[in-house]
Amino acid sequence: MSYFQTPAIAYEGPKSKNPFSFKYYNPKEIVMGKTMAEQCRFAMSYWHTLTYMGNDPFGAATMYRPWDQTADVMEKAFHRVHAAFELMEKLQIPFFCFHDADIAPRAATLKETNERLDLVVDVMEEEMERTGIRCLWGTTNAFGDDRFVHGAGTSCNADVFAYAAAQIKKAMELTRQLGGANYVFWGGREGYETLLNTDTAFELDNLARLLWMAVDYAREIDFRGQLLIEPKPKEPTKHQYDFDAAAVLAFLRKYDLLEHFKLNIEANHATLAQHTFQHELNLCRINGVLGSVDANQGDPMLGWDTDQFPTNLYDTTLAMYEILLDGGFTKGGLNFDAKVRRGSFEEEDLFLAYIAGMDTFARGLKVAAALLTDGVLEDFKKERYQSYNIGIGRQIVEGRVGLRELEAYALEHGSGKNRSGRQEMLEMLLNQYIIETA
């Protein structure tokens, strides 16, 4: 059975007028020593692709998918698996990401839910074997059910904490079974609605307790995937504890968890926290915690998570720049945590949206690689900080001077001459690379 009439998408090059083709994503093309496919490690998000029906807070579903045309919830779940793999094959997407709740419907009891999960995961394994498609990461949904109304690991209700722990255990086992390269924690309800009723100190301690349990259990079952935390500042909660990369780093350091976790950076979460996507990736890179990426984009004029497919060349170029500076992905990848617009409700839009996202990142990869290969930015920076390679600068870096010595130096030398930072020139250079990179 086929779920999509759209044929498989192939690379046709930048001049193609066929919307159903890749213009920039040429999977086998070598860029900085790896194929594009290896550099990008694209992943399909199960939730936005298979289960998002176009609902928004003010409106009902607009999308009617062939895999949903059955009343039997398990049958629907199996259809979704097959539809997912057909889509990935046709789009040449080598990875997928999932929450437990995406793949199998909740049942009345945890036990039954887990049984359902097992049934579906078996089918997923078959499809993975058939297609060679792999799991980038799995996670549990510990935010959607009403039980998590006051949080999961930070719930004021200890039974809810226990339930979340049980879900994590199962989801980690499933991720391990599917060979997932990472396991993600996104704490959608780990935060507060109002400080009037919240003991933040206690809740954060509990969150750390839960993460330590997960670390211990991963070790116990020999799960070798990377554990990842995904920051988001707010939505659905008023304030989420994992506000941004800095907040997560502060937390991980406080609770001695830094060696066990990396971060999963989402573009739209970055901008909701008033950071650029590049900023968050950069902060992770320089702290050695750049794990994986949720590749989407928000609208800078809108204050909620729009999860749009990424089509901004600046964002993808500068993101790939940081990723390449970090040595490229090892376990991580580019997961399209993105949904087609509510008005893009036709089957074709799923393809067109993934093409847009993949092409925009592929172009970003090439531009970033050209910038790095030519060294235009890195050479500029080297020159800019050169005063720290010699004289007083070198002494500062080597820790051989203190305030007293520096005062003596300043009294004698003043503060020297500054040079322009050349922001406008560099921005135009970036434009030229975006347009002209071959």
Which residues, including other chains, have CB under 8 Å from residue 90's CB and lie 6 or more apart? 4, 6, 7, 8, 9, 351
Stretch that binds a second copy, among 4-12, 85-93, 124-132, 347-355 (CB under 8 A): 347-355
27 binds a second copy (CB under 8 A): no
Which of 33, 71, 132, 420 touches a second copy (CB under 8 A)? 420
425 binds a second copy (CB under 8 A): yes
Type of residue found at 419: R
Q: How many residues bind a second copy (CB under 8 A)?
A: 162
326 binds a second copy (CB under 8 A): no
| CA atoms of 24 and 15, how far apart (whole Å) | 10
Cβ proximity of 280 and 265 under 8 Å: yes
Cβ proximity of 51 and 102 under 8 Å: yes
Residues forming beta bridges with residue 434, ordered by sequence position: none
132 binds a second copy (CB under 8 A): no
Which of 1, 33, 58, 129 touches a second copy (CB under 8 A)? 58
222 binds a second copy (CB under 8 A): no
Stretch that binds a second copy, among 26-34, 69-77, 121-129, 137-145 (CB under 8 A): 137-145
Cβ nearer to a second copy, comparing 130 with 195? 195
Q: Which of residues 359-398 bind a second copy (CB under 8 A)?
A: 359-360, 363, 377, 380-381, 384-385, 387-388, 391-394, 396-397
What are the residue numbers of the active site? 99, 102
Q: Which of residues 174-193 bind a second copy (CB under 8 A)?
A: 188-189, 193
CB of 82 to a second copy, least distance (A): 24
What distances in angstroms separate CA 74 from CA 135, 141, 164, 179, 417, one per listed residue? Answer: 21, 18, 23, 23, 71
| CA atoms of 400 and 413, how far apart (whole Å) | 18
Q: Which of residues 261-300 bind a second copy (CB under 8 A)?
A: 271-276, 278-279, 282-283, 286-287, 299-300
Which of 1, 129, 222, 419 touches a second copy (CB under 8 A)? 419
Which of 202, 224, 373, 379 touches a second copy (CB under 8 A)? 202
71 binds a second copy (CB under 8 A): no
CB of 119 to a second copy, least distance (A): 18
**Phi, then psi, of 285 in degrees rounded to 5:** -60, -45
Q: Which of residues 233-252 bind a second copy (CB under 8 A)?
A: 233-236, 238-239, 243-244, 246-247, 249-250
Residues forming beta bridges with residue 24, ordered by sequence position: none
| CA atoms of 393 and 416, how far apart (whole Å) | 12
| CA atoms of 150 and 158, how far apart (whole Å) | 11
| CA atoms of 218 and 66, how far apart (whole Å) | 37
| CA atoms of 419 and 262, how far apart (whole Å) | 37
Which of 165, 227, 267, 369 touches a second copy (CB under 8 A)? 165
110 binds a second copy (CB under 8 A): yes
156 binds a second copy (CB under 8 A): yes
Stretch that binds a second copy, among 26-34, 68-76, 160-168, 329-337 (CB under 8 A): 160-168
Q: If you count them, how many residues does the chain have?
A: 438
Pairing of the two strands 30-31 and 34-35: antiparallel
Which residues, including other chains, have CB under 8 Å from residue 87's CB and lie 6 or more apart? 3, 4, 44, 49, 93, 350, 351, 354
CB of 138 to a second copy, least distance (A): 15
CB of 297 to a second copy, least distance (A): 10
